[in-house]
Amino acid sequence: MEVFWSNLTLLAGFPSEILILTLVLTAAGKKNWRRILIAILAFSLFRLVGEILKEGTAVPRACWQSGVKTLIPCPESFSFPSGHALGATMVAVITSLIYRRKLIVASTWITAILIAISRVVVGVHSPIDVIGGGIIGVISGLIVWKFYWD
């Protein structure tokens, strides 16, 4: 299971989120590149807000404590909120609102939840970090969707 969690957490992240978001938005049939660019920029802005919050809250990572085992290298940035959870839930919200099909909604939310869990399992976040990232991601996803869809 360690290999699964390590690979999942390493595959997730900002570059893959942008790729998935671009594919979701173009596949939705609205191939207006200006709107897609605005949505991606808004998405990127919220990821940046997450990074600013990390610096502002200065919550130390669990893996900075001695004796904490990690499955991946311990990042040097602060911990709260989890950027992976934030990005994954943003993608899940946007995908769910665009497609509204049970299988797509379920699979994107399961993936987002697994990504969030992976950050705790690999030892680089606490549960509150991923919960906070998830909440910010949901709010951000609703705003990004509004930018894209309106």
Q: What is the pLDDT of residues 52-76, one digit of tens each?
A: 999 999 999 888 877 777 887 888 8
| 3-state secondary structure (DSSP) of residue 150 | coil
For the entire predicted model, the pTM comes to 0.82
Range of the domain at 145: 2-149
Q: What is the pLDDT of residues 110-140, one digit of tens each?
A: 989 999 999 998 888 999 999 999 999 999 8
Number of neighbours of residue 72 by Cβ within 10 angstroms: 16
Rounded Cα–Cα distance for residues 49 and 100 (Å): 28
User: What value does the CA radius of gyration of the chain take, rounded to a whole number of Å?
Assistant: 15
Distance (Å) of CA 105 to CA 9, 36, 48, 102, 136: 21, 20, 26, 5, 19
Domain count within the chain: 1
Residues 92/109, Cβ–Cβ less than 8 Å: yes
- Which one-letter DSSP state was computed for residue 115? H
- Name the token pair of 85: 């959870």
Spatial distance between the Cα atoms of 93 and 120, rounded to a whole number of angstroms? 21
Average pLDDT, the chain: 83
